């Protein structure tokens, strides 16, 4: 269940759900709306409904349709598994959900293949690949997957209420003047390109903490980044706003600026993830090593000696 902040008023229901609540494409959200599985204040509303402050939006996430999301055999890097959930390490270049241009071969297809393995026609139904959050196609790292709608719902509440800890390793262009910092700048749709996001006065409150791990002679900085909020493209948008876009990012970068090194993708890795187990109430914390492509990219750079004068004590 989600309660609309007054600042979100007048947004379309489907836009609000896609941007703030559900890790699905807008077309899939539309289908869920059409099936009457999303209500506003207890009533079924159309996708075009303009939300109002304090509206209560209730979502029942249905199992994916096998006709649309076919199980596929895929090698998954499973870091942890129990009867309720999985924690996996997503490799770079793997798309999370089927979408135009990527109808199959996605993480969702692979999860369905893994979770339905061994089921028979007498089984109650296909296992649920309950993706709780998103990673961009080029971003590697940790993701948690629920095996039931109840577990998925409880994990989504933890994400919504900011009870999940997430940190990333990112390579940014330039040498940052401060070793630590907080970027506190609202993020919303870009007025110049609706497919992009930007720091804008009308955006949602967004906060990102960063710490410089290593600076490099070639003009790059390796950062340890912690998200205090969870906006789409938040790290990429905030680092671009700071004047230090991520290496290899083809979308959020300064016009006309060429990088001194070619990078195979956006240099961003979800390195740590922590949450409370929805069933056992145990706190779980995971870490994932850098993938090979990012490790190799860093090995071509030359670290600068630490400068105590610019360091900021915790």
Catalytic center residues: 136
Which whole-number Å values give the CA distances from 270 to 140, 227, 257, 273, in the listed order?
Answer: 6, 11, 26, 8
Rounded Cα distance between 282 and 274, Å, is: 11
Helix (H, G, I), strand (E, B) or coil at 72: coil
Q: Quick one: which of 149, 180, 144 has its CA closest to 163? A: 144
Rounded Cα distance between 118 and 111, Å, is: 14
- Tell me if 72 sits within 8 A of 105, measured CB to CB: yes
Q: In DSSP terms, which residues pair with 285 in a beta bridge?
A: 274
- The string of DSSP codes covering 221-281 is EEEEEEESS--TTHHHHHHHHHT-PBTT-SSSS-TTPPPSS--SS--EEEEEEEEE-TTT-
Give the Cβ contact number of residue 148 at 10 Å.
Answer: 17
DSSP state of 310: G
Q: What are phi and psi of 37, to 5 degrees?
A: -95, 0
Dihedral Cα 177, 183, 184, 187, nearest 10 deg: 130
Rounded Cα distance between 38 and 296, Å, is: 45
């Amino acid at each position: 269940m989600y309660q609309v902040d007054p600042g979100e008023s007048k947004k379309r229901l489907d836009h609000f759900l896609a941007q703030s609540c559900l890790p699905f494409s807008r077309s899939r959200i539309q289908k869920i709306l059409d099936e009457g599985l999303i209500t506003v204040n207890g009533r079924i509303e159309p996708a075009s409904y303009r939300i109002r402050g304090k509206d209560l939006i209730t979502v029942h996430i249905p199992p994916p349709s096998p006709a649309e999301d076919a199980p596929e055999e895929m090698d998954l890097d499973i870091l942890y598994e129990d009867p309720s959930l999985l924690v996996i390490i997503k490799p770079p270049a793997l798309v999370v959900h089927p979408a135009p241009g990527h109808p199959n071969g996605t993480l969702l297809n692979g999860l369905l293949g893994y979770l339905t393995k061994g089921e028979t026609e007498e089984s109650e139904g296909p296992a649920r690949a309950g993706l709780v959050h998103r990673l961009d196609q080029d971003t590697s790292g940790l993701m948690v997957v629920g095996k039931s709608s109840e577990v998925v719902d409880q994990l989504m509440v933890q994400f919504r209420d900011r009870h999940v800890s997430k940190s990333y390793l990112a390579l940014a262009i330039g040498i940052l003047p401060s070793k630590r910092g907080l970027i506190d700048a609202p993020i919303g749709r870009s007025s110049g390109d609706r497919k992009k996001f930007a720091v804008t006065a009308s955006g949602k409150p967004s906060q990102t903490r960063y710490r410089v791990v290593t600076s490099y002679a070639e003009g790059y900085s390796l950062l340890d980044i912690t998200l205090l909020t969870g906006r789409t493209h938040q790290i990429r948008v905030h680092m671009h706003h700071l004047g230090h876009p991520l290496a290899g990012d083809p979308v959020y970068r300064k016009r006309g600026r060429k990088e001194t090194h070619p990078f195979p993708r956006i240099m961003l890795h979800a390195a740590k993830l922590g949450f409370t187990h929805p069933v056992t109430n145990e706190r779980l914390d995971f870490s994932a090593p850098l993938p090979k492509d990012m490790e190799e990219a860093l090995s071509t750079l030359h670290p600068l000696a630490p400068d105590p004068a610019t360091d900021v004590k915790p």
